[in-house]
Amino acid sequence: MATLRTGDTIAAIATAQGPGAVGIIRLSGPAARALALALFRSSRSTFAGFKPYRLHHGVLVDANSRVLDEVLAAFMPGPGSFTGEDVVELHCHGGLAVLRAVLDELLLRGARLAAPGEFSFRAFKNGKLDLAQAEAIAEAIAAPTRAALHLAQMKLSGALSQRIGGLRERLEALRAQLCLAVDFPDEDVECLPPDLLCGEALAVAEAVAGLLAGVERARAWREGVLAVLAGRVNAGKSSLMNALVGRNRALVSATPGTTRDYIEEQLELSGLLVRLVDTAGLRAGEPDSAGLDPVEAAGQELARDFMSRAEAVLYVLDAARPLALQDRQALAKLDPRRALVVLNKCDLPEAPAQGGEAHALARSLGLACLSVSAKSGAGLEALCALLRQRLAGAEPDPDALAPNARQAQALRLAQAELIALADEAQSGLPYDILGLRLDAACRALAELVGDIAPDEVLEAIFSRFCIGK
């Protein structure tokens, strides 16, 4: 990466912007210790310089000996640091003015402002972690739930890299035997017969497929599973959305058709992230449906699309109104494995009489049904528990490895090359041609962990990191 010069000393604020109790400024590079000592004045009269891996109390001063802040300073010499270089962390008070003043002083004395992800990039270049582990740092920071954090920590520990390393060793052993057969075609050299070569290639391809399965399994933890609020206009879907997320996110009105587009919010249910979508109320089949304007009609079409893709559909009925023909038809089409029937407005006087018919119909169709009140909160806890139970099938194995999009692309490329190699081995192609397929598969796995990585790939990955990481 041309913009990241690894020979100089970089500095950056390593904590989030905004007021806080503590803010950290990080330095890395050959002059990190000297730069920090130039500003640091210890509170101990016996201070003789930074001792590694200890906190030192004192103040930082500018070039005019004016105190910038009272701090704790820690020195971590390379290679025993995160970046593999000499690293100093200055633990200051968390005000932005304080941190900027200290950072400005370091820059005036010769440090360079770090680029986004440059500390992690130096750790990668210095062999402290591979590319898959470096990406896991960003994934851990962005994790929306503890489960997603666990998936990122699994990769950060090197579990994915170790699995990839094992597959690469198997492919390298195959490549060595193929090279022998190509280089010494007339010699009596032991080589894998084509059928065994084909079997080993397919076995590794199957192992790669197992890793790729983790991509979809982990999507639920990273992005959330889709749950849709659907039903006729004025059933109380928007009120229920507001009650579930705990704030007025959707506009509520007695006027039918207020929600004309979809509204999406995130909801965490016992560690599972749920993308809760409130959709436009359905009117199809009612007498006034022909009078819909194009915008509301498009919103209803979008609602049907969301219902077809959702892992869970909460079909909301107004418990105080008689069951309409459209509701009967809609309930008959719902998948009992994904759908819940929610009788809203159960606090109204008419609800007990009117809701009984809906409960009976839902039971006859094998649909779970429960009564709630978005206004009073009655039944919401039970609804969340039932929704969480319904979404249990979307849960991935918490200990499964979860490749990201870039890693999945490399895995798919390796898998395709191995399957093609097996097909061509069966058709009797010469070993030098088969070796090209094997080379491509090995190269794809090497790119996954960064053993082979073009500068533009590294630039794209580390530029997404925050400054200071």
Instruction: Give yes or no for residue 118 having a pLDDT over 90.
Output: yes
Percentage of residues of the chain with pLDDT beyond 70: 86
Alpha helices in 373-466 (DSSP H): 380-390, 405-426, 431-449, 455-462
Identify the pLDDT of residue 296.
59
Identify the pLDDT of residue 203.
94
How far, in Å, CA of 57 to CA of 34, rounded?
17
Q: What is the CATH number of domain 227-394?
A: 3.40.50.300
Mean pLDDT, the chain, as a whole number?
A: 84
Q: Which amino acid type is present at position 286?
A: E
Comma-separated ranges of CATH 3.40.50.300 domains in the chain: 227-394
Of all helices (H) and strands (E), which one includes residue 314? strand 312-318
Comma-separated ranges of CATH 3.30.1360.120 domains in the chain: 10-129
């491509």: which residue's tokens?
A: 440
Give per-residue pLDDT as tens, 374-433: 888 899 999 888 888 888 665 556 567 889 889 999 999 999 999 999 998 888 888 888
Torsion of CA 237, 238, 239, 240, to 10 degrees: 50
Strand partners, 461: none
How far, in Å, CA of 373 to CA of 377, rounded?
5
Phi, psi dihedral angles at 135 (to 5 degrees): -65, -30
Task: Retrieve residue 202's tokens.
Answer: 């397919």
pTM: 0.73
The total of other beta-carbon atoms located within 10 Å of residue 140's CB is: 16
Identify the pLDDT of residue 251.
44
How far, in Å, CA of 442 to CA of 49, rounded?
49
Instruction: Give yes or no for residue 259 having a pLDDT over 80.
Output: no
Quick one: fold of 140-219+403-450?
Answer: Four Helix Bundle (Hemerythrin (Met), subunit A) (1.20.120)
Tell me: cis bond preceding 79? Omega within 30 of 0 counts. Answer: yes
Instruction: Give yes or no for residue 49 having a pLDDT over 90.
Output: yes
How far, in Å, CA of 84 to CA of 405, rounded?
28
């905004």: which residue's tokens?
A: 18
Where b means 16+ CB within 10 Å and e means fewer, 80-110 reads ebbbbbbbbbbbbbbeeebbebbbebbeebe
Q: What is the CATH number of domain 10-129?
A: 3.30.1360.120
Instruction: Give yes or no for residue 25 having a pLDDT over 60.
Output: yes
- Would you place residue 304 in the very low, low, confident or very high pLDDT band (cuts 50, 70, 90)? confident
Comma-separated ranges of CATH 1.20.120.430 domains in the chain: 140-219+403-450
Selection from 163, 195, 179 nearest residue 414 by Cα: 163
Instruction: Give yes or no for residue 260 having a pLDDT over 60.
Output: no
The mean per-residue pLDDT over the stretch 207-214 comes to 90
How far, in Å, CA of 135 to CA of 126, rounded?
16
- What lies within 8 Å, CB to CB, of 407 at 6+ separation is 132, 135, 160, 448
